[in-house]
Amino acid sequence: MTDGDEADVSAEPLPDWPVALRGVTESVVTTLGPNDRWNVAALGLHAPDGADATVESDEPRSAAPVTATTWGNTRTRRNFHREGGGVVQFVSDPRTFVESAVTIREEAEPVVPEAHAWVEIEAEQVASGESEGTRWERWELHPVETAVTEQTVPTINRGFGAVIEATVAASRLDVPAYDTDVLLARLRHLADVVDRCGGHPERAAFATLDEATGWRDRLSADVADDVPQFDEARR
């Protein structure tokens, strides 16, 4: 390779995100742990302020990076510090989101089978602080390599959205900054949405959420009896 060729390679633009991002896009991230297995966790991706990070657009792209925030001493935070990055993945299976958000899931490979697209990223800590006793750290995510493995036709399912919101509410139950009674009321409502609007994957995902978090145990008996049950969905 000539010096000129080396210059051309170094001038190549870095890869970009393979999907459109706007607002906060929910994703799954895998990070390599000290046991050489990939920890799977939920991660909200914040598009740059003032401009969505989009693909296949003629509009100028924002130079600002995509960011994410970790809360508490999570495996993702520790592995970001240890390894300097991970693999962000985009999935549409609600069961994957629940397993990532409220259970410990580890894989031998960095890309989960359910991923439609993935992005290997470098994670750079750019800010940190404390909110109501919980430490947070903000990270800039810089794509290194990307791939689209499967294309799907998007559909709208209120049950799917309810599962995602339920994982957020359940993960905040023991965080001092959030009111437990408000979160429990939200979970009751979201269970009702899944019962009325979700399919088998959403019901099975909510059943896993129930088992992993035990949020129903915090309800009074008369209230708990009125909340839909999803045990059958897991069979």
In this predicted model, what pLDDT tens digit does every residue of 1-48 receive, in sequence order? 334 444 444 445 557 899 889 899 999 999 999 999 999 999 999 998
The answer to whether 69 and 77 are in contact (CB under 8 A) is no
Task: Name residue 75's amino acid.
Answer: R
pLDDT of residue 232: 64
pLDDT of residue 63: 61
pLDDT of residue 155: 87
In this predicted model, what pLDDT tens digit does every residue of 73-91 receive, in sequence order? 999 999 999 999 999 999 9
> Cα–Cα distance between 230 and 199 in angstroms, integer?
11
Task: Name residue 1's amino acid.
Answer: M
pLDDT of 52 higher than 60: no
Using the 8-state DSSP alphabet, how is residue 209 labeled? H
Place of tokens 């909510």: 206
Confidence of residue 153 (pLDDT cuts 50, 70, 90): confident
What's the predicted TM-score (pTM) here? 0.83
Place of tokens 């001493």: 73
- For Cα atoms 179, 185, 189, give the angle at the middle one, nearest 5 degrees: 145
The answer to whether 98 and 52 are in contact (CB under 8 A) is no
Name beta bridge partners: 230: none
pLDDT of residue 187: 98
When pLDDT is averaged across residues 144-157 and rounded to a whole number, the result is 91
